[in-house]
Chain A
Amino acid sequence: MNTQLQHDLLPTATHDELARQNFVHTLKVHLATKVSPGNKTIYEHRAAPRFAREHQRPPQDRHEVRSVMQDEPYYQMWSTLLRTSQEMMWDSVNVSVERQLPQLRERAATNGKTLGSLTLNPDLAIPAYHTAVDIHCQPGGYHTELGQDDVAAGATYDRAVYIYAMSRLGSLNDEMGQSVVLHLKEQHADFRPARILDMGCTVGHSTLPYVDAYPEAEVFAVDVGAPVLRYAHARAEALGKRVHFSQQNAERTNFEAGSFDLIVSHILLHETSSQAIRNIMKECHRLLRPGGMMLHQEVPQYEGMPPYEAFILDWDTYNNNEPFWGTVHSMDLQKLAEESGFAARGVIQTMIPSALERAQARTEKFQGGDFGGGGAWFVFGATK
Chain B
Amino acid sequence: MPRKAKGKRPTFFNDPQIDTVMGIVMALAGEVSVLRERLDSVERLAAAKGLFTQHDIEAYRPDDAVMAERERWRAEYLERVLRVVHQELEETDKGETTESYQAAVRAVSS
Contact = CB atoms under 8 A, between A and B. Distances in A.
A83 B78 CA distance: 17
A140 B82 CA distance: 31
Contacts of B79: 30, 34
A148 interface: no
Contact of A139 (B4, B60, B82): B4
A264 interface: no
Nearest to B57: A15
A27 B77 CA distance: 10
B82 A35 contact: yes
Interface in B1-51: 1-7, 9-10, 12-13
A77 B85 contact: yes
Interface string A342-367: 00000000000000000000000000
B74 A22 contact: yes
Interface stretch (A38-46, A58-66, A103-111, A305-313): A38-46
A41 B10 contact: no
B99 interface: no
A70 B58 CA distance: 44
A134 B71 contact: no
Given A29-B75, A80-B13, A139 B89 contact: no
Given A76-B13, A79-B12, A1 B5 contact: no
Nearest to B78: A30
Interface in A70-118: 70, 73-81, 83, 87, 90-91, 94, 97-98
Given A26-B78, A76-B12, A46 B92 contact: yes
Interface residues of B, number: 28
A134 B6 contact: yes
A1 B13 contact: no
B4 A42 contact: no
A152 interface: yes
A23 B74 contact: yes
A138 B75 CA distance: 26
Contacts of A27: 78
B108 to A, nearest CB: 27
Contacts of A276: none
A152 B82 contact: no
Secondary structure at chain A's binding surface: helix, strand, loop or mixed? Answer: helix
A41 B93 contact: yes
Interface in A111-160: 131-134, 137-141, 144, 146, 152, 156
Contacts of B4: 139
Contacts of A146: 1
Contact of B10 (A14, A29, A74, A318): A318
B74 A83 contact: no
A1 B71 contact: yes
Contacts of B71: 1, 26
Interface in B56-110: 57-58, 60, 67, 70-71, 74-75, 78-79, 82, 85-86, 88-89, 92-93
B43 to A, nearest CB: 10
Contacts of A83: 9-10, 12
B89 A80 contact: no
A97 B70 contact: no
Nearest to A27: B78
13 contacts: A26-B74, A30-B75, A30-B82, A42-B92, A46-B92, A80-B12, A83-B10, A83-B12, A90-B5, A132-B6, A134-B7, A156-B1, A321-B5
Interface of B: 1-7, 9-10, 12-13, 57-58, 60, 67, 70-71, 74-75, 78-79, 82, 85-86, 88-89, 92-93
